[in-house]
């Protein structure tokens, strides 16, 4: 799952919704800062107010990832997208096609959902603007082993740049995917791979309910 997919079912709870993004935000700014369930669970008492909501939102991200990565849709769609990338890029796996298949599918899933639910997508940004980024950073620093010193800064950047919008377009999504690859020190893929992105978008749309089973995920 990616940002919008994690958040879609929680638009009525601003701090909980925003906090479903915390594990992904942390992976961008400082990969050594991890919020494991055992660090979050002691903070789930509702009497702790917003701190509890933030802990619960981050924990929901981890819980969602656990079931999502075991679904038939995840295994099959990621496998098909990996194969498509490998057929296009060749047998030399300098591009780490398995990683491309996994990350590409999750970005495409966000893109498909934002196209299906444009009102909810705009609500997502409006609600995200309502939360206090410094308060979220302080809450995370109470729970994490290491301080996330740039978290508030990155939340503000995330809200300002709104780069999720590029997921609705194949070429823009490919550029974003290359940014992810470069961040983890992998080779960017050529512009022609937009053909694979386009095929992947259709595949994700066709297999949406296999990726997000009705018993685990509510679609608006």
List the alpha helices (DSSP H) in 32-189: 37-40, 50-68, 72-89, 97-116, 118-129, 133-143, 151-161, 170-183
- Identify which of 89, 1, 19 has the alpha carbon closest to the alpha carbon of residue 56: 19
Q: What is the pLDDT of residues 93-117, one digit of tens each?
A: 655 888 999 999 999 999 999 999 9
Q: What is the pLDDT of residues 27-66, one digit of tens each?
A: 999 878 889 999 999 999 988 899 999 999 999 999 999 9
Give Cα 55 to chain centroid, integer Å.
17
As a whole number, the mean pLDDT across the chain is 94
d(CA 77, CA 210): 9
- What does the block give as tokens for 34? 């991890």
- What does the block give as tokens for 94? 């300098």
Terminal-residue alpha carbon distance, the chain: 17
- Identify which of 199, 204, 179, 203 has the alpha carbon closest to the alpha carbon of residue 189: 179
| Residue ranges covered by each domain of the chain | 3-211
CA triplet 95, 154, 144: central angle to 5 degrees?
A: 90
Q: Residue 159: phi, psi to the nearest 5?
A: -70, -35
d(CA 6, CA 18): 9
Q: How many CB atoms lie within 10 A of CB 36?
A: 14
With a pLDDT cut of 90, the percent of the chain lying above it is 85
């Amino acid at each position: 799952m990616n940002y919008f997919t994690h958040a879609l079912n929680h638009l009525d709870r601003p701090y909980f919704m925003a906090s479903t993004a915390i594990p992904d935000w942390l992976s961008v700014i400082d990969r050594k800062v991890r919020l494991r369930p055992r660090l979050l669970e002691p903070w789930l008492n509702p009497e702790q107010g917003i701190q509890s909501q933030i802990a619960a939102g981050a924990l929901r991200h981890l819980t969602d990832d656990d079931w999502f990565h075991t679904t038939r849709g995840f295994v099959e769609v990621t496998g098909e997208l990996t194969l498509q990338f490998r057929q296009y890029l060749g047998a030399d796996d300098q591009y780490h096609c398995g990683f491309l298949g996994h990350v590409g599918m999750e970005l495409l899933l966000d893109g498909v959902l934002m196209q299906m639910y444009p009102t909810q997508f705009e609500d997502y940004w409006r609600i995200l603007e309502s939360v206090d980024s410094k308060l979220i950073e302080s809450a995370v620093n109470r729970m994490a082993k290491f301080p996330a010193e740039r978290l508030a800064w990155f939340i503000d950047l995330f809200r300002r740049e709104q780069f999720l919008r590029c997921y609705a377009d194949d070429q823009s999504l490919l550029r974003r995917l290359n940014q992810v690859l470069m961040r983890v020190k992998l080779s960017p893929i050529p512009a022609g791979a937009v053909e694979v992105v386009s095929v992947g978008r259709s595949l994700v749309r066709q297999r949406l309910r296999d990726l997000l089973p009705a018993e685990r995920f509510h679609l608006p």
